Amino acid sequence: MNFLATHFNYIVVVILLMAGLFLVFSSGNLIKRMIGLAMFQTSAGLFYISLGKVSGGTAAIAVERGSAEAQALAAQVDPAYAAQRGVEGVIYSNPLPHALILTAIVVGVATLAVGLAIAVRIREAFGSVETSDIEVLSRVEATQPGPQA
């Protein structure tokens, strides 16, 4: 039970990852595939954010030494925890994964919007967003002769 409590975020990541991949590979609906890709991206973001969190760490905020804020941050660190890891003073969580994932979220939303716009155009052209219907209709259109020039 302790394992589940300490690794809960990683278990959620694996479940989201597998559900997203399942939707991408099993569904013939373009919208469902895009939802699966969004779930997959969310699981990757949660994984990186989970890796960036340091147990006992605080936000990486620059404060002057000797200031009240620096003394308060140093007082939050458990001396036994610091001694066990061979560090002194304040332990910081890495802010880089959070910044990278924030950028990835923006890019993911933009690509999802483009994908949905393309799906709308496909629906207008073929009357369906099912890949099997689109394949059949595109073959039918390819075999029909076009207007003579």
From first to last of its 149 residues, the chain has per-residue pLDDT tens of: 788 888 899 999 999 999 999 999 999 999 999 999 999 999 999 998 888 777 777 777 665 655 655 555 555 655 565 555 555 566 777 788 888 999 999 999 999 999 999 999 999 999 999 999 999 988 888 888 766 65
Whole-number pLDDT of residue 71: 55
Whole-number pLDDT of residue 95: 81
**Domain of 64, in residue numbers:** 59-92
* Residues 87 and 100 grouped into a single domain: no
* Residues 13 and 38 grouped into a single domain: yes
Tokens 């147990």 belong to: 55
55: helix, strand or coil: coil
Structure tokens belonging to residue 75: 């007082």
Whole-number pLDDT of residue 129: 93
* Residues 86 and 47 grouped into a single domain: no
Buried/exposed code over 78-104 (b: 16+ C-beta within 10 A; e: otherwise): eeeebeeeeeeebbebeeebbeebeee
Look at the chain and report how many structural domains it folds into.
Answer: 2
Amino acid at 19: A
Backbone angles phi, psi at 145, to 5 degrees: -70, 140
